[in-house]
Amino acid sequence: MGTVAANGIRIEYQEFGDARNPAILLIMGFAAQMVVWPESFCQALADRSFHVIRFDNRDVGLSNHLDGVRAPGMKRSMFASLLNIKLRTPYALEDMALDVVGLLDALDIREAHIVGASMGGMIAQIIAAKHAQRVKSLTSVMSTSGNRKLPGPRPNVLRHVLFRHRKNMDRDRMIGYLVDLWKLTASPLHPTPIDEKQRRVRSWIERDCDPKGNIRQFAAMAANGDRTELLRTIERPTLIIHGEADPLIPVDGGRHTAQCIRDSQLQVIPGMGHDLPEQLVPQLARLIAAHCVNAESSIQNEQASVA
């Protein structure tokens, strides 16, 4: 693992594979550290001749936390988003996109295949639209366009996210909260054993526990709004992956994202929820690697035609 300065903050990152290979940059979602990307998944991509980078977003993990900076509470942020009321937030998803661009700069990577999950997918979409020169391809996993007409989370999941989260949780309460959330959002046909859930969540919380950082990230996500028109400007090769059984961001979010991005490909995975179970790692790695290889071939063909 390493640390770099990017966009005025400190970012913790980890690399897999040969740095001479084409880069795949992984962006994780809301409140999730880079270690939520399974190491087996990162290694599977590296074994397919890619240079894989995962990192901690701001306000989570070992990257900079904006300690002492206040943000609207999660319920207020959600209701403001639903009512289309403008929120003042400590930062925006666009700032988090600039963090990624800064990380690429710090690692001397001119272009990368960008893969984002959930909120990370939203950030990846912004990068592909606003910083296209840094993007070889886009993969948006279990994410959405932000269109307010789309179905939202299942009521029991939304209640857990909004009403059980507390900014002053201690470590044990946070572990219980996250294990319960994983139970609610897990892939029904690809279950992770409860003892494995507990072990992994405990390892995440031992690495970092900052409920207040989660609130700041949530505010940025809620304030971002509808990206429909932005998505229509994306021209990079795009793959949309979504679980058919996702209870947090229903599959219609993935379908609408694919409708908005011209020539994008949609892969709906039966029995997949809002997680990355080990059983699906081979399929996910195969899909994303094939997408990136095809994008590399297109780039080489374009360069050859220009020459």
What the block records as the tokens of 171 is: 């470590």
Q: Taking a C-beta distance cutoff of 8 angstroms, is the pair 296, 22 a contact? A: yes
Residue (of 294, 2, 284, 257) closest to 128 by Cα position = 257
Query: Which residue reads 């070992």 in tokens?
Result: 62
Beta-bridge partners for 112? 135
23-27: strand order across its sheet = 2-6, 9-16, 51-55, 23-27, 112-117, 135-141, 238-243, 265-269
Q: State pLDDT tens for residues 171-220.
A: 888 899 999 999 999 999 999 999 999 999 999 999 999 989 999 999 99
What is the set of domains in the chain, with CATH numbers?
Answer: 2-306 (3.40.50.1820)
Mean of pLDDT over the chain:
95
Distance, CA of 265 to CA of 215 (rounded, Å) = 33
Q: Taking a C-beta distance cutoff of 8 angstroms, is the pair 168, 144 a contact? A: no
Surface-to-core class of residue 43, CB atoms within 10 Å of its CB (0-12 exposed, 13-18 middle, 19+ buried): middle
pLDDT at residue 306, as a whole number: 64
Q: State pLDDT tens for residues 116-151.
A: 999 999 999 999 999 999 999 999 999 999 999 999
Q: State pLDDT tens for residues 235-294.
A: 999 999 999 999 999 999 999 999 999 999 999 999 999 999 999 999 999 999 999 999
Q: Taking a C-beta distance cutoff of 8 angstroms, is the pair 114, 138 a contact? A: yes
